Amino acid sequence: MKETELIKLYCHICECYDSTLRREIQRFSPNGNTGYITDEELMTIYLYCIVYGQRFTIKHMHKHITKYRSSWFPTLPSYATFNARLNRLWPAMALFIPMLMRRIPIANDLLPIYLADSCPVVTCKGMRQGKVAPELTGKGFCASKKMYYFGVKLHIIAHKRPNTLPLPGTILMTPASENDLMSIKDILETAQELVLVCDKAYCDQPLAQQMTAHNACLITPQKEIKTRRNVESSV
């Protein structure tokens, strides 16, 4: 069964690569030792290991293919070359994942209910200063974990499906310092004919009214109104 899925995945990647993804691949001089494995094979290995092998690091992916699928990928290079080649494929991966997700069938009778949330991707926390990718990261606060951290936020707007995980429709990454609502506000302002369920971080009455005008609905918990009595009791 897994062999069949591997073949299907490879064929689909080859089709998308020839039509679209080829233009996104970063080219280097042929003088470098980059191995004989193709870009299509590398993308197939990466996605196959995540979905069917439950391997989520490049090192574990390389070990898994070497041990169980070496006959399928006879030109698999060393780990160092494998890692370097995969890192160069990230523009193609970023374009291919949405193309792959659009192939997942969604029943027509589903209500257009979407869920939005964010999660922290921590590069360092505590009193330390962030040094990883400073052009992308920032300092933020995660209320659910009650921690300050350096890193980024991963924002996802996903389609609700019964009896299974939601299907991601929009995925964004912003610095941790950026407000959750402002990160996706441009998307919500143009949303039409859907129901969006979010947490309290997305409460915004003017936005809710604007979405209502587009036949959309924003559902969030009500924020507690802080009064002087509440503040005194909490102290």
Q: pLDDT tens, 94-148?
A: 888 888 877 766 655 455 889 999 999 999 987 777 788 888 899 999 888 888 9
Same domain, 83 and 133: no
Is 27's pLDDT higher than 80?
Answer: no
Chain-wide mean pLDDT for the chain? 84
Give me the residues paired with residue 219 across strands: 197
Residue 28: per-residue pLDDT = 54
Residue 67: per-residue pLDDT = 92
- The domain in which residue 76 lies consists of 2-101
Is 229's pLDDT higher than 80?
Answer: no
Same domain, 94 and 124: no
d(CA 138, CA 148): 11
Q: pLDDT tens, 68-103?
A: 999 999 999 999 999 999 988 888 888 888 888 777
First to last CA, the chain: 61
Same domain, 140 and 203: yes
Residue 43 falls inside a structural domain: yes
Is 29's pLDDT higher than 50?
Answer: no
d(CA 126, CA 138): 13
Is 230's pLDDT higher than 80?
Answer: no
Residue 56 falls inside a structural domain: yes
Structure tokens at 165: 């995980």
Q: What percent of the chain has pLDDT over 70?
A: 87
> Whole-prediction pTM value?
0.63
d(CA 49, CA 6): 10
Is 42's pLDDT higher than 50?
Answer: yes
Residue 231 falls inside a structural domain: no
Q: pLDDT tens, 43-65?
A: 999 999 988 888 889 999 999 99
Same domain, 126 and 53: no
Residue carrying structure tokens 């009791």: 233
How many domains is the chain built from?
Answer: 2
DSSP state, residue 69:
S
Secondary element (H or E) of residue 167: strand 167-175
